[in-house]
Amino acid sequence: MAGGGSDEVKLLGMWASPFVLRVKLALSLKGVGYEYVEEDLKSKSELLLKSNPVLQKVPVLIHDGKPICESSVILQYIDEAFAGVGSSLLPEEPHGRAVARFWAAYIDGTLVKASSEASMAKTEEEKAEGKKQVAAAVETLEGALRDCSNGKPFFGGDTAGYVDVMLGGLLAWVHAADKMKGVKTFDPTTTPLLAAWADNFGSLDAVEAVMPDVSKLVEFAMAMHARAAAAAAGATN
């Protein structure tokens, strides 16, 4: 990948992780070169365990030998550490930065949490409630995009910014889930702005360069579901 500092920047990740994808997207959009290290989360490397001893999970960005953890924190670090490279992810003025951080927190605290409940809850009632919360969160983000973009393609305006990357990291999994369930999360009839945003964001060269293959994610998800079903069946025998 083109960009500066390729010998000094390393990303520890796992290909299917939406949180790792966020970091890849930020680095790609900024044009920062880096070394990518794929982690086996069943047998974590010594580097990962040393770099993130508290959580022991990816992503971890290592810059000049110093680790940074948690995707939202890493994105802000990238924007500050490579301020002279590419476009800024966060607005320059304080209020705009605060608004972007608010919606980024909403994505993780509401949308991601509800999506997890919709797919992983133990009861059908809990899953149904999770789906309702996902729909409500998507509707809220439709309004947020309208207010933040001022008629421009992205949450960041003319260019993809912090909120775009936070939501964009989930985009491949949104497409995979839609494909498996035969639905459209960002439906042009109900959320036309988000539907257009998804197309615009996904068509950026820097985004296309790092997006995982949706078919591979579907295969990955189906394999995970099969293993979980087998484990559940074994537990009841």
For 170-202, the pLDDT digits (tens) are 999 999 999 999 999 999 999 999 999 999 999
Please report the beta strands in the chain, taking only residues with DSSP state E, as ranges in sequence order: 9-13, 35-38, 60-63, 66-69
Beta strands 66-69; 35-38: pairing state = unpaired
Burial of 34: CB neighbours in 10 Å, binned 0-12, 13-18, 19+: buried
Separation CA 100–CA 92 (nearest Å): 11
Q: Number of C-alpha atoms within 13 angstroms, CB side, residue 205?
A: 4
The confidence score (pLDDT) of residue 122 equals 86
pLDDT in tens, 88-133: 999 999 999 999 999 999 999 999 999 999 988 889 999 999 999 9
Residue 82 CA: distances (Å) to CA of 21, 30, 77, 159: 18, 8, 8, 17
Question: Which residue ranges does the chain devote to CATH 3.40.30.10?
Answer: 7-80
Q: What is the pLDDT of residue 3?
A: 42
Q: Where in the chain is the domain with CATH 1.20.1050.10?
A: 92-215
CATH topology of domain 7-80: Glutaredoxin (3.40.30)
Written as six digits, the tokens of 167 are 């939501």
Fold of the domain spanning 92-215: Glutathione S-transferase Yfyf (Class Pi); Chain A, domain 2 (1.20.1050)
